[in-house]
Each structure stands twice: as structure tokens, then as C-alpha cells.
């Protein structure tokens, strides 16, 4: 589709919707909006518009739809597949100023908020009220709830608590027509619509622009204890996982970091936990009532003893836990800064096959001689493979990475998995979508897109091409 360029005349019309000070045009002002956290992507918009309320969002979308101007919704810009980059130029609509927590409803265990609220800010505000929102991406201090909803984000607590989609009970969203839809609300049950909430969660800003979110929250767990253990065999991890499920423990988190990632992160952070030299590391967190947590820790101690694992560091107080999770959340940044370029991709397999997948994957990246570091979420089968370019002059590195990625994604599918567990499809993974989506599914997805956005102005070029 041919989109219209933005002229001074059109800018005057946009100024009727938002204040001029919230329209960014100078190259140095729009540069942060040209990219997200995906390496190698840079697509400048013509304008950035910072909206303040749902009325402005609806009017801006209606204007862009009428004038055939592409518009890309943006949260915190922390995505890893190019979902928030303005591929076709046009306008980036930023929700950074829509950052109000409008209602913490302790009676209904619900919170109503605008899409620009930072995840970590919400976590801290809820904790003061004795409440808990369990979805904790590693980027929680910079990612927004709106972005989490658009990407159906997850986090380390997904083992026990699930991801974003499990907590969205209400959405308000603006359509390209300028209409505003409201689905759900402060409801535990709701079967009165077409489940539009679940359609919009994970749609990556291609169907509508989310303007208000209602989330379910839960009581803050009474106690939490975390531990990190060093191991030298993947088979030991497999045994530990099997015994955890068999003995009916449901940890909040079961994380994995390989030796390469630990070594690089240890050199990067100012204060790292005291860890032994091992090939593999797992982080397990358990929470709940004190007696339940103590019981789970006793069982975990038995499991580690049975497996002959002695290198276990227990973080029982807040200071040690903060140090441990700061280390875990710093892994990606450490890897990014360890080379001249890094490509990261996530993939997901049934958790019963994750060790099998990891064993098979080693042969792939080692045969191609690519520096690789791995971390991820053992408890939900989601792994992050990070391919690091050690120097700008490394020959044929991009081609090698493409080859390895293609083989790993096909291997994940063979193991019953999918090409993404939490990063989404965006721009960088859409070429792999035909590996997992058949023609009938593609056609249905395209018809859905056209029903919401017939002129294809909303985040065009993402997930698939029309």
C-alpha cells in the first residue's frame, strides 16, 4: 500500500489533536523512537506524537486512517523483535505520558491503569497494599504494561503464575476508525463477548491501540526463598525437574543460565553472587505461606542431596534475593556489551523436552563455531539463545547465525514447540512464521487484521505482510 507523507498542512491538523510540545520532529528528538532493543534495526518515523488520554489516541488513529498514514504504537521500546519500530515511517504514537495507575481495588483484587505504567512501578505500588502482580520480565524497570499486553509478555514467575494473558480481565482500545471498544472489566468470569481481550493480547499493536488495562492481582505471598545451584550435567537438571514435578512442588520460578552467560555477567555487574565454577546454573524460587515454603525447601534439599549437588546458594533475605535477581536480570545487558553485536532469539518447547532440545542444540551452534550464551525459563520450556559477534571483522557471522537460527527453530518445532515463547514475531521473526502457521491460519489472521484495520495503518509490516 502507498502511504501518504506528512506535510506541514497535516501537522497543523495533528496540532488540533495534541499540543505542539508533544509532537517531536527533529532528528535528535525522534532518534530514540527509531529502534527498540533489537540489534541492527533503525527506522525513523516522520513524527512522534506523545498522547495523554484515550480521546487523543482515538482522534489520532482516525486522522491517520483517513489520511492513509502508518502509525506505530510504542510502550517502553524494550522489545526484541522490532515490534515497536516504525517500519513504514509515518507516526510513532508514544504512550509514555499515559502512565497513571487509576485504581487499586483491593476488594476485587483488580488494578486499572494506563498503558504507559512501568511494570516495576506497578509491582512496588501494589506491594505497599499487600498485593502482587506476578508477571516480572527481566526488563521490568523499563518495560510498560501496555507493551507487555501487546506482546503477551511473560517472566520468571510464569511457572506458578502464568504470563500477562492470565491477568488481563479488561481492555479499552481505540480502533483505526476512531471508535473505542471496551471489553471485560473487574470481572472474574465473563463469557459475554468474543473474547476480544485474548485477541488483542499479543497482537503487537497491529489491530488496535490499547488505552486502558484492567489486571487481576493476588495477595502478596507471605514468604519467598530463592536458591541458585551449580551443576555440570544437563542430565542432572533433567532429574531435578522430574523430581520437582513428581513431588508436587510448584516453584514460582525455575531459571537457567549457562556457564558462558554467568562468566560474562560476573565480569559485568558490580556485585555478583558467590558462585562455583560449573557448566550450568539453575535458579529456583518458592513462595507462599511460611509452612508451605519451608516444606518445599526441605523437599528441594532432599532432591539436591539425591543428585549429589552440593553447590547451592540459598537467598532467604531481601538483600541476598535482590543481589541474585539483579544478577539474573543483568544477563542480557552483559551479553550485549560483551561483543560488537548480538542476536538473541527465544523459542519454546514442551517443558518435558527442554533438556532434549538443549542437548541437540549444542551440536548445531558448536558445529558452526559461533560464540553462544544461553539462559531462559526451564519451568515453562522457554529458552533464549544469544549469538555474540566477538569482533566487527568476524567474517560471515551473520550468515552463520541465520543458518543456526533456522536449524534451531526447526528443531524446536520438531520437539513440539513454537518459534517464540514471549518475544513475539514482530519484524525479525515473521519470515519464520510459515514454519508453524498453515495457509488456513494465515488467511484467518489476515481477515482478522483487515476487519480491525482495513487500510493497514496500524504497525504495518509486523507479524505478516498483507
Q: What is the domain-level CATH number for residue 366?
A: 3.30.70.2740
Domain count, the chain: 3
Work out the average pLDDT over 178-184: 97
- Determine the Cα–Cα distance for residues 273 and 262; give it in Å rounded to an integer: 10
| 175/283 same-domain check | no
Asked if residue 180 is part of any domain, the answer here is yes
Which backbone phi and psi does 376 adopt, to 5 degrees?
165, -160
| 320/353 same-domain check | no
pTM: 0.96
pLDDT at 205 over 90: yes
pLDDT at 368 over 90: no
State which H helix or E strand residue 216 sits in: strand 209-216
Taking Cα atoms as reference points, which of 256, 262, 248 lies closest to residue 282? 256
| 406/299 same-domain check | no
pLDDT tens across 215-264, in order?
999 999 999 999 999 999 999 999 999 999 999 999 999 999 999 999 99
Would you say 389 and 340 are in contact if contact means Cβ atoms under 8 Å apart?
yes
- Determine the Cα–Cα distance for residues 219 and 424; give it in Å rounded to an integer: 29
Asked if residue 18 is part of any domain, the answer here is no
| 353/272 same-domain check | no
- Determine the Cα–Cα distance for residues 176 and 409; give it in Å rounded to an integer: 34
Structural domain containing residue 148: 101-219
Q: Coil, strand or helix: which one is 440?
A: helix
pLDDT band for position 151 (cuts 50, 70, 90): very high
pLDDT at 366 over 90: no
| 286/395 same-domain check | no
- Determine the Cα–Cα distance for residues 423 and 35; give it in Å rounded to an integer: 15
- Which of 295, 329, 363 finishes a domain? 329
| 377/399 same-domain check | yes
pLDDT tens across 122-137, in order?
999 999 999 999 999 9
- Determine the Cα–Cα distance for residues 266 and 289; give it in Å rounded to an integer: 33
Asked if residue 173 is part of any domain, the answer here is yes
pLDDT tens across 268-324, in order?
998 899 999 999 999 999 999 999 999 999 999 999 999 999 889 999 999 999 999
pLDDT at 146 over 90: yes
* CA geometry: angle 168, 420, 164, nearest 5 deg: 15
Asked if residue 165 is part of any domain, the answer here is yes
Amino acid at each position: 500500500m502507498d502511504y501518504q507523507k506528512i506535510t506541514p498542512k497535516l501537522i497543523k491538523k495533528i496540532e488540533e489533536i495534541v499540543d505542539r510540545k508533544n509532537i517531536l520532529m527533529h532528528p535528535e528528538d525522534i532518534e530514540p523512537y527509531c529502534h527498540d532493543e533489537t540489534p541492527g534495526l533503525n527506522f525513523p518515523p516522520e513524527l512522534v506524537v506523545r498522547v495523554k488520554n484515550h480521546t487523543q489516541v482515538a482522534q489520532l488513529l482516525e486522522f491517520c486512517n483517513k489520511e492513509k498514514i502508518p502509525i506505530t504504537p510504542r510502550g517502553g521500546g524494550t522489545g526484541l523483535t522490532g515490534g515497536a519500530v516504525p517500519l513504514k515511517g509515518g507516526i510513532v504514537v508514544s504512550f509514555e505520558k499515559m502512565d497513571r495507575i487509576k485504581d487499586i481495588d483491593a476488594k476485587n483484587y483488580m488494578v486499572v491503569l494506563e498503558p504507559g505504567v512501568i511494570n516495576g512501578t506497578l509491582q512496588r505500588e501494589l506491594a505497599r497494599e499487600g498485593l502482587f502482580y506476578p508477571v516480572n520480565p527481566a526488563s521490568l524497570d523499563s518495560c510498560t504494561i501496555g507493551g507487555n499486553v501487546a506482546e503477551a509478555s511473560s517472566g520468571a514467575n510464569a511457572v506458578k503464575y502464568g504470563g500477562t494473558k492470565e491477568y488481563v480481565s479488561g481492555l479499552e482500545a481505540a480502533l483505526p476508525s476512531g471508535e473505542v471498544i471496551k471489553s471485560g472489566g473487574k470481572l472474574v468470569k465473563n463469557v459475554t463477548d468474543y473474547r476480544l481481550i485474548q485477541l488483542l493480547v499479543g497482537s503487537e499493536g497491529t489491530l488496535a491501540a490499547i488505552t486502558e488495562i484492567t489486571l487481576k492481582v493476588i495477595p502478596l505471598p507471605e514468604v519467598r526463598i530463592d536458591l541458585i545451584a551449580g551443576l555440570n550435567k544437563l542430565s542432572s537438571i533433567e532429574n531435578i525437574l522430574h523430581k520437582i514435578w513428581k513431588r508436587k512442588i510448584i516453584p514460582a520460578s525455575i531459571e537457567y543460565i549457562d556457564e558462558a552467560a554467568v562468566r560474562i555477567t560476573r565480569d559485568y555487574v558490580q556485585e555478583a553472587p558467590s558462585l562455583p565454577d560449573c557448566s550450568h546454573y539453575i535458579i529456583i524460587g518458592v513462595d507462599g505461606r511460611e509452612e508451605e515454603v519451608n516444606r518445599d525447601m526441605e523437599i528441594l534439599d532432599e532432591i539436591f542431596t539425591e543428585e549429589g549437588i552440593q553447590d547451592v546458594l540459598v537467598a532467604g533475605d531481601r538483600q541476598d534475593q535482590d543481589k541474585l535477581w539483579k544478577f539474573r536480570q543483568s544477563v542480557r545487558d552483559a551479553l550485549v556489551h560483551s561483543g560488537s553485536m548480538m542476536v538473541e532469539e527465544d523459542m519454546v518447547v514442551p517443558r518435558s523436552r527442554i533438556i532434549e532440545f538443549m542437548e541437540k542444540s549444542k551440536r548445531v551452534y558448536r558445529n558452526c563455531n559461533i560464540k553462544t550464551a544461553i539462559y531462559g525459563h526451564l519451568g515453562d520450556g522457554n529458552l533464549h539463545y544469544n549469538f555474540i559477534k566477538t569482533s566487527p571483522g568476524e567474517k560471515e557471522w551473520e550468515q552463520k547465525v541465520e543458518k543456526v537460527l533456522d536449524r534451531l527453530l526447526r528443531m524446536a518445532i520438531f520437539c513440539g514447540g513454537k518459534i517464540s515463547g514471549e518475544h513475539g514475531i514482530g519484524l525479525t521473526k515473521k519470515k519464520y512464521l510459515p514454519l508453524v502457521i498453515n495457509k488456513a491460519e494465515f488467511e484467518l489472521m489476515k481477515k482478522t487484521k483487515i476487519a480491525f484495520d482495513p487500510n493497514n495503518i496500524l504497525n504495518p509490516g509486523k507479524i505478516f505482510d498483507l
